[in-house]
Structure 1
Amino acid sequence: MQMQALFRLVLCAALLALPTLASSDDATPASVHRKLESAFADWLTAQGTSGIMASGVFGADGTWNVDLYNDTADGVIRSGDLASVSKSITAICVMHLVDEGRLEWSDSLRDFVSPAPDVTVAELVTHTSGLAPDVTQLAMLGWLGQTTARNGHFSAQVLDLVNARPTQTGTRGAYEYNNENYALLGLVIEDVTGMSYFDACRDLLDLPASIHPGDRAGVFQPWGGLASDPNGYLTFLQTHFGPGSRVANDPFALPHVALGGGAYYGMGMVFRPFQDGHNFWHFGALCFPGRLNIGSFAVIWEGKVSVIALYDACLDGDAMGSLDMALSAAVYGKRP
């Protein structure tokens, strides 16, 4: 299997009947970090894999406390592939162009590249363009590890393949997770800015220096080819989905689509209104047997606690769900 781009709707981070984040001594940043790291360590053992994690917790005095956890053989904290978690960076990059008046959510893809399907920027961001089936699922197998792409990625090749498809099998306006949408957003960003996708987004968002195109999967940049050390992506997550951010203030004011059960997709993340704010989360995976098998999980609970976990395995939906549940329980406590 290639990239697990059919996003698994694992909702337990927001479905558990959990109490409000505690304010007792047991919920100090140090205590929350310990609980999260213990839960992650137990999960890694159960899955027979290794990984690294960064967690951020707001203390009672308003300071943001970050801790790093490393369960790799050599004990070195290094960059890991973000896989589909990369989509959050692409979406926020597009949002900034809209906020600057250089782009409109209602603009057609055809305004920037031609020939192209007549779908809007908002539809691409929310996976409601109707583009399908996802050609990247097979094409990525041949593209992995290549370095001859235009501007460092294969979005132009994705467009060629989309244009070559005689009909689209998706339903416009209906959610259907498809890497093609974010590959095409990479081309929009390049046309608007006159820069490569990554250079444009790095400058627009002032990305941490540790976020970069992946060494192995970099040709998938806009839809799943960025890499970061845990602290770098955690900083991005807290900046753009944390308290006071454009997204967290009102995600419903931005393009979004209902997924059912009170959950929504928007700005490259699944989200749900929850207690004091919103929970945002997303899984990623790159699954190339014998070549590259990794996973990622980014989550931020009510703007108060955030995590990026990077692990050395391509896992199924049950394993992803167990990670979600384990970390949620570490933050909120066990259900009564």
Structure 2
Amino acid sequence: MVVVWAPGPARAQTTVQDRINSALGTWMAVNGVSNAGMAVMRDNRLVGSYGYNQMSAETPAHVASLSKAITAVCFLSLIDDRRLAGFRTALYSLPPSFLDATGPWSPGVANITVEQLLRHRSRIYIDTSQGSGLVGVPNADSSDVILIRRALAEHLLTMPVSEIYNNINYAILGYIIQTITQESYESYCRRTALAPRGAPNARIGPGTRALGAFGGWEISAVEYAMFARAYDPRSGLLSQAGHDFIIALANSSSPTASLGMFVVRTATGRNLFHHGSWSSTVTTPQQFSSFFAMWDNGISVTVTYDRNLTDSARLDLDNTLRRAAYSSG
């Protein structure tokens, strides 16, 4: 194990980053995880970077669904710059080239709004990226169109729904970005969402290009933590429209999908989090995971690791690090 900080012989009170690092080490031992990197932020300042075995907080890592926040912040720039009318923009109002590339559509698809995509409320329930969905799909930037076309040809759910988490929602958002800007999704998002927020080295991984806007980014824990400062209103790195969108449907009883993150309203603000996990024989690497959380006490963590674990193990990681973040030491 390689860590930035090692405990001294007579330390009366540990710092929050030390407690979080200790909690991560315990969780890793219980769950058989050997390689991980972690960045800890306090009030938008990096206060700890930790590495275990073959990974460090500076090692570029595949972050799976943490990519969705990058897509969401990137997409927000289209609204902030008035290149799209707003969150209620429907698919039917997009340039004809979008329909030509992704159609024919099943009934109701034309009325899906970008807000519904961002919040996983589109009623698209076939996730063509899961299971054997990527078998035979080229590992290329064009793969998103294949996955989108397959999903939008299927009927939408007709029953009332709140959220159905689906990678295709964000694949569509990524392709809208490309359609509107006439620039590749990767280069536009690196230029507008990542580099200005301290993450210039992020890229779509060579072996995960088919995951693109919903899960393809490769970025170090430190650079992701720098980028994700945008979700703290104090940072000034996200427009007011973005913060309003995040909190609009948030409640204290259950997490709500928002701008590429899940949000829970708290007595003093909001907590944000997202897990990323992936396992497939057709990607390189074949499995990887990540975790991000930003709590209302000003602490945030980004964790990358090279295993795909159970939902129970991921929930335990969330709970373990949150307890350490709020502990007084």
Q: TM-score, normalised by structure 1?
A: 0.80
Aligned to 1:19: none
Q: In the aligned structure 2, how far is the partner of 1:46 from the partner of 1:163?
A: 41
The residue identity in structure 2 corresponding to 1:185 is: L
User: How far off its partner does 1:154 sit?
Assistant: 1.8
Aligned to 1:10: none
The residue identity in structure 2 corresponding to 1:132 is: Y
User: How far off its partner does 1:243 sit?
Assistant: 2.4
User: How far off its partner does 1:153 sit?
Assistant: 4.7
User: How far off its partner does 1:318 sit?
Assistant: 1.0
Q: In the aligned structure 1, how far is the partner of 2:55 from the partner of 2:170?
A: 35
Aligned to 1:45: 29
Match status 1:184 vs 2:172:
yes
Question: How do 1:95-174 and structure 2 match up within 5 A?
Answer: 95-103=76-84, 104-112=86-94, 113-114=98-99, 115=103, 116=105, 117-118=109-110, 119-142=112-135, 146-147=138-139, 149=140, 152-165=141-154, 167-169=155-157, 171=159, 174=162
User: How far off its partner does 1:287 sit?
Assistant: 1.2
Residues 50 and 56, structure 2, Cα contact 8 Å, conserved in 1: no
Unpaired runs of 5+ in structure 2?
A: 1-11
Q: In the aligned structure 2, how far is the partner of 1:289 from the partner of 1:157?
A: 19
Aligned equivalent of 1:194, options 182, 187, 196: 182
Q: In the aligned structure 2, how far is the partner of 1:126 from the partner of 1:306?
A: 22
Aligned to 1:299: 293
Q: In the aligned structure 2, how far is the partner of 1:192 from the partner of 1:235?
A: 27
Question: How do 1:60-99 and structure 2 match up within 5 A?
Answer: 64-73=45-54, 77-99=58-80
Q: In the aligned structure 2, how far is the partner of 1:327 from the partner of 1:242?
A: 22
Q: In the aligned structure 2, how far is the partner of 1:238 from the partner of 1:281?
A: 13
Helix, strand or coil at the partner of 1:310? strand
Match status 1:35 vs 2:9:
no
Work out the number of aligned pairs and report it.
299
Q: In the aligned structure 1, how far is the partner of 2:159 from the partner of 2:238?
A: 27
User: How far off its partner does 1:279 sit?
Assistant: 0.9
Aligned to 1:5: none
Residues 1:275 and 1:258: Cα distance change in structure 2 (over 3 Å): closer
The residue identity in structure 1 corresponding to 2:273 is: W
Q: In the aligned structure 1, how far is the partner of 2:310 from the partner of 2:148?
A: 29
Identity in percent: 24
Helix, strand or coil at the partner of 1:302? coil
Residues 123 and 164, structure 2, Cα contact 8 Å, conserved in 1: yes
Q: TM-score, normalised by structure 2?
A: 0.82
Residues 118 and 257, structure 2, Cα contact 8 Å, conserved in 1: no
Q: In the aligned structure 2, how far is the partner of 1:96 from the partner of 1:285?
A: 27
Residues 252 and 265, structure 2, Cα contact 8 Å, conserved in 1: no
Unpaired runs of 5+ in structure 1?
A: 1-24
Q: CA RMSD in A?
A: 2.8
The residue identity in structure 2 corresponding to 1:138 is: G
Q: In the aligned structure 1, how far is the partner of 2:158 from the partner of 2:209?
A: 27
Measured against aligned partners, the alpha-carbon deviations of 1:257-282 in whole angstroms (never above 9, x if no partner) come to: 56882432200111112243211100
